Structure 1
Amino acid sequence: MPTSSPTRSLRLSKQLLIGLVAILAAAIWNPSRLDSGDKQLAKSVYRGNCAACHGTDGHGDGPDADRAGFPVPDLMVPKLRGGNGIGQIRHAVANGNPAHGMPTYRGKLTPHELDLVTWELIRMRKAFARQVPPPPPPVSG
């Protein structure tokens, strides 16, 4: 009967630990648990740092969008380029995409403010999704 090597077991244990930490972090950080002061601060941080290009509703139509020199993405599209998960959105805000004109906010915003902007983007997308009617059913025939 083959046995696993200590190196393989250690690698598997490390992967399991990383996965467990990610699951626990997602469970602990719950944007719906923000108090009303944080919710207002989230809107304020978004408006102060993102709305000039992305617009107050996130559609890429902010007052500076035309001067950006690149197409400003609509953040309300069903699938964002970097992904739709909390971690993916936070990563995109923190690290930006300088090649496409998106500045980095790591070091400009505190970790708490990065969380708040992430929460605000998720809140905005959920609100927008409730306004968009579902697509019609496929035509059979």
Structure 2
Amino acid sequence: MILLFIIFLFGVLGWIFERKMNPEVFRPSSKGLWDGIWWSAVTLTTVGYGDKAPVAKLGKATALILMFGGLLFISGLAASIASSLTVKQLTGNPDGFNEFKDRTLGTVDKSGTEDFLLEHFFKDVKTYSNVSLGLEELDKGEIEAFLYDDQF
């Protein structure tokens, strides 16, 4: 629903800003509203057919906000879905998640992953100042798995 709202909002804004300066692309009639929504959906999804492009300053500013905001929103949505599927898979398989509780695990010091592991009673957690050091220890066989979820 949020995605549809964003497409609709920026489509209307794009149409409002472009209909007078760019009437051949963003028609001034109610059909032009569909032009704006189409442009917004194509821009947000980074398809970019090139059939519609803003020329007005406010239209270009709207497009920039839509492109960068859309990039962040879509990537956040994809990350959220992937994370949910991973957690569901790990917790849905009793052996998949719990089998690591008695193993030697590595993670980055003072990270959300370290907090998670300690809160969920993982017994042998070694921490490292960065991912590279942890992966080196994994290669050497000093730890059995390395877990880390980088959040920005």
Give the TM-score, by structure 1 length: 0.35
Structure with the largest fraction of strand: 2
Structure number with greater CO (CA < 8 Å, separation at least 6) is 1
Q: Bigger radius of gyration, 1 or 2? A: 2
